[in-house]
Amino acid sequence: QVHLQESGPGLVKPSETLSLTCTVSGGSISTYYWTWIRQPPGKGLEYIGYINYSGSTNYNPSLKGRVTISIDTSQKQFSLELSSVSASDTAVYYCARRGEVAMLDYWGQGILVTVSS
Amino acid sequence: DIQMTQSPSSLSASVGDRVTITCRASQNINSYLNWYQQKPGKTPSLLIYAAARLQSGVPSRFSGTGSGTDFTLTIISLQPEDFATYYCHQSYDTPWTFGQGTRVEIK
């Protein structure tokens, strides 16, 4: 059974960089695409971006170039960096696996990141 | 971006009811449409993928239909554990987008 676990600070100051890591267990990271999704409190789901095992990435243009996703296959981890954060970036951040038919079939439990001074 | 519009935004239903949620895409997405269930404070979980394929382990009372721009999620005989928010998701083109959600509440 594939398991994903997010880790990182739960509080980030405005204008700083949010950094999260997702650790994959129970399956190979060297296939599929690995995704970040976020959900502001009380709101819907927003796609942030994805990466594949070779490092090919896709980002949501709405985040205006503030996003970087990277992967470390040796550690079975992939990471998210979101720069110049503001209060509107406060959300639960999920990592998820894009399955073979372009669905999100495995999700981490999510981590709440609050942007506040 | 492809806009996904769900209706209704919320509904009240009783245990045993048949529930239908619709999702409309702003352009043709073939069958690249997925449905997720999210209970309060929990992670979304995949119910239906590729418009009509039931994810392993999901009860057969859930079903999905549609292609192109119009899709439906149906729950026959609503169960107490089905009260949740449901989201559609298009994976036809990036940026992937989600519907705004449909909250299913107890009548």
In what side-by-side order are the strands of the sheet with A3-7? A3-7, A18-25, A77-82, A67-72
Average pLDDT over residues A37-56: 96
User: pLDDT averaged over chain A?
Assistant: 96
Beta bridge partners of B104: B11
State yes or no: pLDDT of A13 exceeds 90. yes
| Position A31 confidence tier, pLDDT thresholds 50, 70, 90 | confident
B3: Cβ contacts below 8 Å, ≥ 6 apart = B25, B26, B97
State whether residue B9 sits within 8 Å of chain A by CB: no
Q: Is A42 on the interface with B (CB under 8 A)?
A: no
Report the DSSP beta bridge partners of residue A36. A49, A95
- A-facing residues of B in 46-75 (CB < 8 A) are 46, 49-50, 53, 55
- State the Rg of chain A over Cα: 13
A vs B, Cβ pairs < 8 A, gives 58
Q: What is the identity of the amino acid at B42? A: K
B101 at interface of A, judged by CB pairs closer than 8 A: yes
* 8 Å CB contact between A4 and A108: yes
Check CB contact under 8 Å for A101 and B87: no
Partners of A61 on chain B (C-beta within 8 Å) are: 95
pLDDT bracket for residue B107 (50, 70, 90): confident
pLDDT over 90 (residue B106): no
pLDDT at A7: 98
Distance (Å) from the alpha carbon of B98 to chain A's nearest alpha carbon: 6
All residues at 6 or more sequence positions from B90 whose CB lies less than 8 Å from its CB, including other chains: B2, B4, B25, B29, B32, B33, B34, B96, B97, B98
Enumerate the β-bridge partners of residue B102. B86
A108 lies within 8 A of chain B by CB: yes
Give the number of other CB atoms < 10 A from CB of residue A116.
Answer: 9
Express each pLDDT in A69-117 by its tens digit: 999 999 999 999 999 999 999 999 999 999 988 999 999 999 999 999 9
Six-digit token pair at A51?
Answer: 């990466």
Taking only Cα atoms into account, the Rg of chain B, rounded to an integer number of angstroms, comes to 13
B99:A58 CB<8 A: no
Within 8 A of B49 by CB-CB distance, chain A residues are 99, 101-103, 105
All residues at 6 or more sequence positions from B47 whose CB lies less than 8 Å from its CB, including other chains: B35, B36, B37, B54, B55, B58, B62, B64, B73, B86
CA-to-CA distance for A96 and A36, rounded, in angstroms? 6
- Asked if residue B8 has a cis previous peptide bond (ω within 30° of 0), the answer is yes
Q: Which amino acid, one-letter code, is at A17?
A: T
Q: Rounded to an integer, what distance in angstroms lies between the CA atom of residue A54 and that of residue B84?
A: 37
CB atoms within 10 A of CB B28: 11
* Range 1-20 of A in CB contact (< 8 A) with B: none
Provide the token pair at A93: 């951040």
Q: Average pLDDT, stretch A37-53?
A: 97
- Name the average pLDDT for chain B: 97
Other CB atoms closer than 10 Å to residue B5's CB: what's the count?
Answer: 13
Tens digit of each residue's pLDDT (9 = 90 or more) over B48-61: 999 999 999 999 99
Nearest chain A residue to B36 by CA: give it.
A104
DSSP state of B55: P
- For the segment B8-18, the average pLDDT, to the nearest whole number, is 97
